[in-house]
Chain A
Amino acid sequence: DVKVTQSSRYLVKRTGEKVFLECVQDMDHENMFWYRQDPGLGLRLIYFSYDVKMKEKGDIPEGYSVSREKKERFSLILESASTNQTSMYLCASSLSDTTYEAFFGQGTRLTVV
């Protein structure tokens, strides 16, 4: 079975802190994604990566950056956390062929106070 693991299920950070959300997958998938989920707004794509050291902006990249130094690991970085970044963050991975099926991690509920 594919396993996507996010480093924390719950996280509380202070405004202005630098925050790292980590995601690891064990199936040698090329593609990795970060989404955020907010009530009324649904799931929105922040960033994705299709290869090591490659990244592409999604629909809402402002205030975020990402890092992919190894194929299995994709990090989301909040350079200076703000209260409007309080949200549920979901990481996903998928293969890069004609099978596009994505698998998600358990999610991280981030609260910025």
Chain B
Amino acid sequence: GIQVEQSPPDLILQEGANSTLRCNFSDSVNNLQWFHQNPWGQLINLFYIPSGTKQNGRLSATTVATERYSLLYISSSQTTDSGVYFCAVGSGAGSYQLTFGKGTKLSVIP
């Protein structure tokens, strides 16, 4: 099956700093989502982005499907951005089935 690798696994930032999280995948995808898992465990949708670029406030994402990677940018980080960020992809006929990366654990310190 498709492989998903996220980097870095852990990231510690000072409040106000910017960061880039990366997701590499091993095959072409029709489905790519970024999630933020809050402290209570719920996965919050950030972006549905199988290709192209999207922005939502301080967050933006870019997927370069031909090169099999996606980037999540967080600008002017806040303590509430802390948590685990997951990339999940779907490929081929089963694109609605998501394969998750192991996540990036972000800690934003005041």
Which residues of A are in contact with B by a Cβ distance under 8 Å? 9, 31, 33, 37, 42-43, 45, 48, 50, 58, 88, 90, 92, 94, 96, 98-107, 109
Which residues of B are in contact with A by a Cβ distance under 8 Å? 30-31, 33, 35, 40-43, 45, 48, 50, 86, 88, 90, 95-98, 100-103
Question: Is the pair A88, B30 in contact by a Cβ cutoff of 8 Å?
Answer: no
User: How many residue pairs bridge A and B at CB < 8 Å?
Assistant: 57
A sample of 14 more A-B contacts (CB under 8 A), given A43-B98, A100-B95, is: A9-B40, A33-B97, A33-B98, A42-B101, A43-B86, A43-B100, A48-B97, A94-B96, A96-B96, A100-B50, A101-B48, A106-B42, A107-B43, A109-B41
Complex CA distance for A109 and B30, rounded to whole angstroms: 31
Question: Is the pair A58, B86 in contact by a Cβ cutoff of 8 Å?
Answer: no
- CB A107 to nearest CB in B, in angstroms, measures 4
Question: Is the pair A102, B42 in contact by a Cβ cutoff of 8 Å?
Answer: no
